[in-house]
């Protein structure tokens, strides 16, 4: 999966910002700037676009500063998608839609439940995304996880059940 562009309005310190990643050829990217400029928030919003929540900052609604806060990510996975979230800072309510690269809707409504179901089928599991090469400030990544955390994370991208789910039936057959 690759992010091509991130557009943010009214979330965290951003009134209106666009980060175009489509022209970056390298595998390693560094975001630099002054303390408090929003570097970590910007990186966390990549995950927020996929999962509607940031790992250390929580749900997008908690980051919203305007009634029309918006986060849009252009993502390439099995194909190109546009993930668009709109959040009201006053009510905390939000909507999310998935569009194809031409802007045609791929979800039938803007209900968060429908977005979550779509993301569950088309995007990597959150623990896989955050345990991979993407790392926000203070994240340990896969290599820094404790053995039990690695055991819980590893089966997900392989489509396998968690080890605990396999152990339960085995215990029933133990004399």
Residue 129's pLDDT band (boundaries 50, 70, 90)?
confident
| Cα angle: 131, vertex 155, 144; to 5 degrees | 30
Q: Specify the pLDDT at position 64.
A: 97
Q: What is the mean pLDDT of residues 154-163?
A: 60
User: Could you tell me which of 111, 65, 71 has the C-alpha nearest to residue 90?
Assistant: 65
Q: What is the mean pLDDT of residues 110-123?
A: 95
Q: Specify the pLDDT at position 56.
A: 84
For 70-107, the pLDDT digits (tens) are 999 999 988 999 999 999 999 999 999 999 999 999 99
Lowest mean pLDDT among 38-47, 62-71, 145-154: 145-154
Cα within 13 Å of Cα(90), Cβ side: 3
Q: Do the Cβ atoms of 73 and 8 come closer than 8 Å?
A: no
Cα within 13 Å of Cα(135), Cβ side: 14
Lowest mean pLDDT among 14-28, 41-55, 58-72: 14-28
The span from the CA of 48 to the CA of 96, in Å, is 11
Q: Is the pLDDT of residue 173 over 80?
A: no
Q: What is the mean pLDDT of residues 123-130?
A: 82
Q: Specify the pLDDT at position 163.
A: 60
Q: Specify the pLDDT at position 152.
A: 67
């Amino acid at each position: 999966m690759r992010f091509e562009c991130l557009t943010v309005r009214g979330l965290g310190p951003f009134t209106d910002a666009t980060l175009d990643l489509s022209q970056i050829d390298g595998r390693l990217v560094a975001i630099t700037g002054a303390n408090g400029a929003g570097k970590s928030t910007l990186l966390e919003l990549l995950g927020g676009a996929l999962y509607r929540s940031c790992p250390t900052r929580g749900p997008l609604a908690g980051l919203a500063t305007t009634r029309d806060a918006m986060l849009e990510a252009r993502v390439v996975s099995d194909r190109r998608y546009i993930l668009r979230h709109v959040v009201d800072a006053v009510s905390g309510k939000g909507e999310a839609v998935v569009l194809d690269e031409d802007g045609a809707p791929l979800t039938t409504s803007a209900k968060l439940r429908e977005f979550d179901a779509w993301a569950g089928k088309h995007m990597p599991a959150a623990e896989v995304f955050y345990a991979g090469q993407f790392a926000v400030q203070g994240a340990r990544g896969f290599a820094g996880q404790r053995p039990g955390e690695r055991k819980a994370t590893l089966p997900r991208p392989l489509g396998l059940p968690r080890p605990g789910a396999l152990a339960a039936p085995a215990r029933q057959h133990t004399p």
